[in-house]
Amino acid sequence: MAAPAPRRDDAPEPSFADLLAQRPALSTDALAGLMMEEVPLARIAQAVGTPTWVYSAGTLRRRARALCDALREAGLDATVHFATKSNPNLAVVALLAGEGLGADVVSEGELRAARAAGVPASGIVFSGVGKTEREMRLAIAEDILQLNLESAEEAEMLDALARSLGRRARVALRVNPDVDARTHAKITTGLTENKFGVPIALAPALYARLCAMEGLEVVGLATHIGSQITQGVSSYAAAYARLGSLVRELRAQGLPVERVDCGGGLGIPYRDEIPASPAALAGTIKAGLGDAGVKLMLEPGRWIAGPAGVLLSRVVIEKQSAGRRFVILDAAMNDLLRPAMYEAWHGILPVSPAAFHAPQTPADVVGPVCESSDTFAKGRNLPALPPASLVAFLDAGAYGASMSSTYNARPLAAEVMVNGSDWSVVRERQGYEQLLAGQRIPGWITRPGEAR
């Protein structure tokens, strides 16, 4: 088992001011309350309703540029492919494509989203352990940059399909370097016990086999060791050193290795974590692979999109029960799943200017879904939040909307993007008609009041 990232539950919670200081797109205005860029969040809630995801275009741009700059400044020949799973909203992907980012996709839906957002096929990488034949067919038809293969079985399937179509599919072999990313066990991927990639010891023989397959054009290697990596760069360093030796070994066998996809995983501070910087990551890539003579690729999701988004929600009601204070919101685990699924900590800020400086008492912040796991925070210090007060969950731009469901028949929330003083709805709130659409009651089910 991977050791979970150490939790610092005993460390004092960051104050509202601490949280704001670290998040340049957010500020408080004495009259308008919490703002994203130049737009009061209350205005968006008023116009669009709640719950609503709100993304900062400025933050997305700034972070995409910071990452690309760090790679360039380290002298690396690298391309960045945004992990679409973290936020597949078309406006987000299109904005990042405009910054020159490609896309990392893991399904037909994500491939279609990336293309619809304007990502060129030549910038798309298809990852994932279970690509279906239909997905492979689409990837071949679109002539995407590469498919990252996860097993010999998958290679054989793709080879046969490509040959039957008279094509060659560009592929990289995803290697599992067996390093512990020291993150949450549910999001570590680079250990032998995980389902991802092929064990590094078996890679040389398999790579040679792949190179002999007529339907494949083998372009290199890929890896991804885990997500929300916050314990420095040592896990990355170990993985890239292993990949570097593998590149040399394959080349010594006369096999071509043009590029290495270094995966994603760079963590962000949700609470008080101090993750490595893009510059530190770039330096680590350089140390492991800089002299391997390969083109490099990166597949970050969270680092770019996470800090760019908030989830806006309204208080339905507060209740006191058995000495505990419960703040019940109109957002729930079906919207933001991370606290229920990973016990993730997200900052929660009140939106109203008065609430920002009001006295605080501990509260359990919960949603209305009928599960105890529908709890966003326990014992969080918050001011009094009368019904209809607004709160914002921070760092909800990655694995937020993308992990939502309609559990409890709750429609998917709206999504908005702020750009300076301007803002636009980038996904309408799902309507109840859409929620029920596509379902059928067969004629052989007798409804109440109908004759049997």
The separation between CA 193 and the C-alpha centre of its own chain, rounded to angstroms, equals 23
Which of 146, 176, 227, 389 forms a contact with ligand LLP (CB under 6 A)? 227
* # binding residues, ligand LLP (CB under 6 A): 22
Which of 403, 104, 401, 418 has its CA nearest to residue 263?
Answer: 104
Q: Decide if 370 is catalytic.
A: yes
Determine whether the annotation assigns residue 431 to a binding site. no
Question: Minimum CB separation from ligand LLP for residue 337, in Å?
Answer: 8
Site mask, ligand LLP, residues 401-420, x = CB under 6 A? --x-----------------
DSSP 8-state class, residue 445 = S
Question: Minimum CB separation from ligand LLP for residue 328, in Å?
Answer: 23
Site mask, ligand LLP, residues 248-287, x = CB under 6 A? ---------------xxxx---------------------
Compare residues 128 and 215 and give the one whose CB is closer to ligand LLP: 128
Compare residues 127 and 404 and give the one whose CB is closer to ligand LLP: 127
Which of 425, 421, 313 has its CA nearest to residue 25?
Answer: 421
Cα angle 52, 55, 59; round to 5: 160
Residue of 68, 211, 262, 370 with catalytic role: 370
Which of 399, 415, 418, 423 forms a contact with ligand LLP (CB under 6 A)? 399
Which of 228, 230, 235, 334 forms a contact with ligand LLP (CB under 6 A)? 228
Q: Residue 110, Cβ neighbours under 10 Å: how many?
A: 23
Site mask, ligand LLP, residues 294-333, x = CB under 6 A? -----xxxxx------------------------------
Cβ(376)–Cβ(334) below 8 Å: no
- Contact between 102 and ligand LLP (CB under 6 A)? no
Compare residues 279 and 403 and give the one whose CB is closer to ligand LLP: 403
Which of 131, 104, 132 has its CA nearest to residue 262?
Answer: 104
Which of 25, 140, 147, 187 forms a contact with ligand LLP (CB under 6 A)? 187
Nearest-angstrom CA–CA distance, 422 and 91: 14
Which of 28, 56, 79, 86 forms a contact with ligand LLP (CB under 6 A)? 86
Determine whether the annotation assigns residue 432 to a binding site. no
Determine whether the annotation assigns residue 299 to a binding site. yes
Contacts of 130 (CB under 8 A, 6+ apart): none
Cβ(411)–Cβ(432) below 8 Å: yes
Question: Minimum CB separation from ligand LLP for residue 268, in Å?
Answer: 9
Lookup result for tokens 């372009």 = 219
Compare residues 265 and 383 and give the one whose CB is closer to ligand LLP: 265
Q: What is the DSSP string of 98-135?
A: HTT-EEEE-SHHHHHHHHHTT--GGGEEE--TT--HHH
Cβ(181)–Cβ(224) below 8 Å: no
Cβ(238)–Cβ(231) below 8 Å: no
Q: Among all residues, which ones are annotated catalytic?
A: 370
Summarize as ranges the residues that interact with ligand LLP (CB under 6 A). 83, 86, 104, 127, 187, 224, 227-228, 263-266, 299-303, 338, 342, 398-399, 403
